[in-house]
Amino acid sequence: MPSRRKLMLPFTHWPIEDRRRWEAAFQSGDLFDENGAGSRLAASTRHLRLESYGRFLGFLSVKHPKLMTLRPEGRIDRRMAAEYVAHRRRSCGDISLAADLRSLCSTLKLLCPNTDWSWLHSIANRIAAAAPPPARKYNLMTSDRLYALGIELMNCAVTAADAVGHTGTRQAIQYRDGLIISTLAMIPLRRGTLAALQIGRHLIKVGDHWELDIPAADTKSRRPLDYSIPKDLSERFDLYLERFRSRIRGSDKHAGLWSSHHSIPMRPDSINVAVHKRTRKAFGFGVNVHRFRHAAASFWSSYDPVNVRGVKDLLGQASFATTEKHYIMAQSRLAGRVLARAIGNAGKR
């Protein structure tokens, strides 16, 4: 049986022509050179497309290796797409599958711009439309409950470490996961942006508190995000950086905020798995990273419905709704402070 690693073909193992086209698509030129079609895509979007195309090439390299010798536009048709969909359904649900196919389609448009890929996009849309709706219980989750869970995980990690007289890896990881959950509850970033956070670049100390300064190039919406982290949560960041992060193996080898076991920052999927596992244990069902964005909107709409359109800025979205695209809102910093104050007040009740 082929290894799971092989089914995600790394970029260095892609056919030469595929790598050449990929690099050309994302080439950023100067005033006299033409930019590639994908040069303006956010780093997180680029990473997702790299993974989706790598999965498809990994599937072909195992199931149909002879097709790897063809040009990119000659490897997939409706029959091959059907086989790939059947293969992917063994490991993911239809919502995830549809998103992956859309990403694959977008990548093929970049690599093979003269080929019509609308049929593949239509397949992805039909799969998404036929997928069962998500469980309603997720809609009941709000930011205050998630924030409280993160605080509880961190407090328990500190208590456990104090009880044995030293900080072990298990306590460090629990504290890290708790801080991720509380941070997401307060500042619901997309998982690609969250995973890319670096100490000193995005996480910056200003006086006695921390701030997140995320440039447009690192966001999906291509809009810069600036959040001030409240004092209570800033103190949690201080403790993480001073006591817990260093207990995770290899954390001194990189500037990534969220350290992993593998001497590299946590990847978006790894963060999602960790958060899902912790929330499932606490609530009886898992809450993925994207659901924190829904939770923020749900909490804000019930706590401060008059100003609910501020969710647009908190989430870094271009508009609240297509019918309200000209509505003027505060910047993300102000939006973050409003949600932070709301959560803090709710916790004092």
Q: What is the pLDDT of residues 218-241, one digit of tens each?
A: 877 777 888 899 999 999 999 999
Lowest mean pLDDT across 184-198, 282-296, 312-326: 312-326
183 contacts 150 by C-beta, under 8 angstroms: yes
The whole domain housing 70 covers: 11-130
Q: How confident is the model at residue 315 (pLDDT cuts 50, 70, 90)?
A: low
> Which of 65, 96, 130 lies at the terminal end of a domain, its last residue?
130
Rounded to 10 deg, the angle between the 231-239 and 169-186 helix axes is: 160
Global pTM value: 0.59
* Pair 188, 76 in one domain: no
Assess if residue 3 is contained within a domain: no
In this structure, what token pair is assigned to residue 204?
């910056």
Q: Are residues 147 and 55 in the same domain?
A: no
Residue 125, domain member (yes or no): yes
Where does a domain end: 94, 115, 130? 130
CATH number at residue 180: 1.10.443.10
Domain count, the chain: 2
Q: How confident is the model at residue 138 (pLDDT cuts 50, 70, 90)?
A: very low
Q: Name the average pLDDT for the chain.
A: 83
Mean per-residue pLDDT, 131-136: 67
Amino acid 134: pLDDT? 60
Is the same domain home to 98 and 224?
Answer: no
User: For residues 174 and 337, which has the higher predicted lDDT (pLDDT)?
Assistant: 174
Say whether pLDDT at 322 is over 50. no
* Highest averaged pLDDT of the listed ranges 6-10, 141-145, 184-188: 184-188
Tokens of 84: 């790939």
pLDDT at 93 > cutoff 80 = yes
Quick one: pLDDT band at residue 294, thresholds 50, 70, 90? Answer: confident
Please tell me whether residues 143 and 123 are part of one structural domain. Answer: no
Q: Are both 92 and 173 inside the same structural domain?
A: no
- What phi, psi does 286 have (nearest 5°)? -80, 145
Q: Does residue 238 sit within a domain?
A: yes
Whether 34 and 114 share a structural domain: yes
As a whole number, mean pLDDT of residues 165-172 equals: 94
**What is the C-alpha to C-alpha distance for residues 22 and 184, in angstroms, rounded to an integer?**
32
Asked if residue 269 is part of any domain, the answer here is: yes
CB 264 within 8 A of CB 270: no
Give the per-residue pLDDT at 348: 61
CA distance 303 to 81: 46
More confident: 324 or 142: 142
DSSP, res 206: E
Q: 229 or 142: whose pLDDT is higher?
A: 229
Task: Note the pLDDT of residue 318.
Answer: 46
DSSP-based three-state secondary structure for 131: coil
**4 falls within a domain:** no
Are residues 92 and 144 located together in one domain of the fold? no
**End-to-end distance of the chain based on CA atoms, in angstroms?**
56
Query: pLDDT tier at 319 (50, 70, 90 boundaries)?
Result: very low
pLDDT for position 323: 29
Decide if 2 is inside a domain.
Answer: no
Model pLDDT, residue 291: 87
| Pairwise CA distance, residues 108 & 120, whole Å | 10
Do 121 and 143 lie in one domain? The reply is: no
Last residue of a domain, one of 69, 95, 130: 130
The pLDDT of residue 349 is: 60
Residues 225 and 87 in one domain: no
Tell me, yes or no, whether 150 lies in a domain.
yes
Q: Are residues 91 and 160 in the same domain?
A: no
Show the tokens assigned to 68.
Answer: 């790897």
CA 68 – CA 334 distance, rounded (Å): 51
Q: Do 108 and 182 sit in the same domain of this protein?
A: no
Chain centroid to Cα 307, Å, comes to 26
Which pLDDT does position 337 carry in this prediction? Answer: 60
Q: What is the mean pLDDT of residues 261-276?
A: 93
Percentage of residues in the chain having pLDDT higher than 70: 79
Per-residue pLDDT band at 47 (split at 50, 70, 90): confident
Q: Is residue 337 part of a domain?
A: yes
Q: Between 346 and 264, name the one with better pLDDT.
A: 264
For tokens 């590299």, name the residue: 264
If asked whether residues 288 and 180 sit together in one domain, one would say yes
